[in-house]
Amino acid sequence: MTPTAAATLLRLESDRDAGIPCRLLDLLTVQQRLPDQMTIDWQPASISFQLAFAVDASLPASLVARLRMLPGVRSVCTEALP
């Protein structure tokens, strides 16, 4: 049996800057790594994103690093979903 990678949840918190969702989606589109689900929670001074990626979808370390380098991004973390 071939082991399969788990689905991945990516959480990202940023400044409240309307450009950030756009840059995030542009980057994921160029990298051909669009999520299955995406939620955006607009807070008074910040934005919280949750992106769920399908089983077998890989998120290379360089992509996660690139997300961290986006201006306005405060934190990025990933976790494997059961």
Partner 1 sequence: MTSVALNPAPVLSGADHLLGLLAEAGVDVVFGYPGGAVLPLYDALHRQDRIRHILVRHEQAAVHAAEGYARSTGRLGVVFATSGPGVTNCLTGLADALADSIPLLCIAGQVVRTLRGTDAFQEADILSMSRAATKYNVGIHEPEALGSLLRHCITMATTGRPGPVLIDLPKDIQALEAPAALFETDAGTLTLPCRLRAGGGDIDAAAQLLRTARRPIIFSGGGVINAGPAASDRLRQLAQLTGAPVTSTLMGLGAFPASSPQWLGMPGMHGTLEANLAMHGCDVMLCVGARFDDRVTGRIDGFAPGARIIHIDIDPSQIGKIIRVDVAIAADCADALRQLCDAVAGQALPSLADWWQQIAAWRARQCLAYPDRADVLLPQHAISRLFAVARRYDPIISTDVGQHQMWTAQYFGFDLPGRWLTSGGLGTMGFGLPAAIGAQIAHTDALVINIAGEASIQMNIQELATASQYRLPVKIFIVNNERMGMVRQWQERHHGGRYSQSYAEALPDFVRLAQAYGWTGLRVETTTDLESGLCEMIKTPGPVLLDCRVRCEENCYPMMPAGAAHNEIAVCESEGSATVVS
Strand arrangement of the beta sheet that strand 73-80 belongs to? 37-42, 46-53, 8-15, 73-80
Asked if residue 32 binds partner 1 (CB under 8 A), the reply is no
User: Shortest approach of partner 1 to residue 62 CB, angstroms?
Assistant: 4
Which has the closest alpha carbon to 7: 41, 35, 47? 35
Site size toward partner 1, by CB under 8 A: 21
Asked if residue 59 binds partner 1 (CB under 8 A), the reply is no
CA distance 47 to 32: 23
Pick from 22, 34, 54, 55 the residue near partner 1 by CB under 8 A: 22
Residues lying near partner 1 in the complex (CB under 8 A) are found at 14-15, 17, 19, 22-23, 26, 45, 60-63, 65-66, 68-74
